[in-house]
Amino acid sequence: MNRLIFRYKRTVLAIMLLFVFAGCAQYEDTDIVKKLSVYEQRLVLNTQTIWNESFSVPDKGIWGDGAGNIISDFNDIANWTLQYSKVQLSNAGDYAKTVATSGGRFEACDIDGEVCWKSEIIHISGFEKINIKLEAKETGSNKNTETKYLKAFYIIDDSAEIPFETNSESAGNWGSAVAEQKGISGKTLQIVVYVSNNYASDKVILDEIVVWPEEKVYPVARPGDLLINEVLFNPYPEGEDFIEIYNISDNEFPLNKYFLASRGNNLDLTQIYSLAGKNYLLPPQSYLAVTKDTNAVFSYYSIECRSCFQQVERMPAYNNNEDYIVLLNENMEIIDELHYTVKMHHPLLADVNGISLERISAAGTNTPGNWASASTQARYATPGYKNSQLSESEIYKPQVTFSPEAFSPNSDGYNDKYEIRFKLDKTGYTGSINIFDAKGRLVLNLANSTIMGTGDVFIWDGKNMAGQKQPVGIYSVAVEIFNPYGQVFTFKNSVVLTDIW
């Protein structure tokens, strides 16, 4: 009952805090808080929680069978382990396991020896400093400090165990204590707790382990700081939507204070879900792809930065033909918004499933002219890294460069590949690249009606369409690109294949 009351109070406080964050007096839509799920309200309150364990699943651990044997069950427990080689469980009532008491906790009763509880490896590199606390309790009257205790340690970056600075060791008949450690920094953290209790009428209890960062004040992102940079709203049948955000500013932002939303039939904000996930901070000038299932994205695209993904529990269900993507800050202010339609894709695409829309220019607006289908060369999406259709400089007509004049793909590290590099003045180009031998015979069709990226690079490795190595000689390269406006551009080059194999 106490825990239920506590959770109720947390929810009420969360709603109150969110009203403060939202600055409801400034908005007509004062019901915006109601559009957040209970899960999201909890996230707003616990914005600083990195990791916690409340032992809510009972009967996980070890216990005796009455004949001196140890029975164990750790099914579905992935965030902690228990080492118990130094214990004996003589009776059926001996155990070191989770129980349902008080909403869940870990207890040790009449274990002859010591168990070692260990958390999973917790990643903390995105935080300046973090804190840990846990509850250490006991019941019973035994005061022997040698056989009844709870000792709390932590490990930073796979180094030696370090005792908590407050109540690291509770022994004998101590009642209740909170073990705490503040000001930790590093890349990884592991919590280690040793428990011993050799008495049948006593219990030693471990509960409510929480890891959170020290409070740091971050600036609130304003329009122009964070951009919706790439969207996949019609994934492959087994794929998943993603929204890519680009932090164009010089500041870092805590993701659990930002939200994705959509708009309803009356254009009111709906499906407001937090960006809270494994990652905590979005660094300056960096990309972040948000999805419900990273594996369903990784399976289809070239992923240059796996750490640039954020897997979230929930995100808006964006329609395949048309919808609104809205990015909100902690004050529920709109910092970027995109109204997309399937017609924004390249007009020559018969099937747009699995093809993302990319922002062309960070300085441009979210109008259709500033968005384009990702290029074929990029496998139709670039989640977590620079867009294939990004326009970074002003040019007035397409440019193609060929290099080197002679190449030898013999893996000696010098001129091993022949590059055809594009610099296009606009998006929407489709192109073909053909390579011919000295007699004019087609050797390789390197690109065929390919949707071109503004900065695509194509590479010839000296082989034909069947993957066969080609002989030394002179080869010619023909490039043709055209855009939806009827403009056609052709480029030609010759290259010498030498000292090949």
Largest pairwise CA distance in the chain: 98
Q: Which residue has the higher pLDDT, 29 or 274?
A: 274
Domain residue ranges in the chain: 2-46, 52-213, 226-373, 399-497
**Per-residue pLDDT tens digits for 318-362:** 999 999 999 999 999 999 999 999 999 998 898 999 999 999 988
Pick the CATH number of 226-373 from 3.40.50.300, 2.60.40.1080, 2.60.40.1260, 2.10.210.10: 2.60.40.1260
Cα separations (Å) of 473 from 108, 328, 468? 78, 59, 15
What is the pTM for the complete model shown? 0.57
Write down the pLDDT at residue 411: 86
Q: What is the pLDDT of residues 39-60, one digit of tens each?
A: 344 333 344 689 999 999 999 9
pLDDT band at 500; cut points 50, 70, 90: low
**For residue 360, what are the CA distances in angstroms to 370, 375, 429, 452?**
5, 12, 13, 13
> What is the predicted pLDDT for the residue at 48?
65
Rounded Cα distance, 219 and 216, in Å: 10
Per-residue pLDDT tens over the stretch 201-260: 999 999 999 999 887 788 999 999 999 999 999 999 999 999 999 999 999 999 989 999
pLDDT score of 393: 65
Q: Which residues of 143-176 are buried (b: 16+ CB within 10 A; e: fewer)?
A: eeeebbbbbbbbbbeeeeeeebeebbbbbeebee
Tokens of 437: 């031998």
What is the distance between the alpha carbons of residues 114 and 220, in angstroms, rounded to a whole number? 49
Dihedral angle at the C-alpha atoms of 60, 179, 111, 63, nearest 10 degrees? Answer: 0
**Does pLDDT of 13 surpass 70?**
no
> Which are the contacts of 323, defined by CB distance < 8 A and separation ≥ 6?
233, 262, 263, 339, 340
Q: Is the peptide bond before 404 cis (omega within 30 degrees of 0)?
A: yes
Dist CA 292 CA 238 (whole Å): 13
- pLDDT score recorded for residue 214: 84
Tokens 């409070």 belong to 215
CATH code: domain 52-213 is 2.60.120.260
H or E, element range at 61: strand 61-64
Give the pLDDT score at 485. Answer: 80
Q: What is the DSSP letter of 412?
A: S
Class of domain 399-497: mainly beta
For residue 294 the two structure tokens come to 């990273």
Separation CA 206–CA 146 (nearest Å)? 18
Tell me: the pLDDT tens digits for 67-120?
Answer: 999 999 999 999 999 999 999 999 999 999 999 999 999 999 999 999 999 999
Residue 21: what are its φ and ψ, rounded to 5°? -60, -40
DSSP secondary structure string for all residues of 135-188:
EEEEESS---TTTEEEEEEEEETT---EE-SBS-EEESS--EEEEEEEEE-SSE
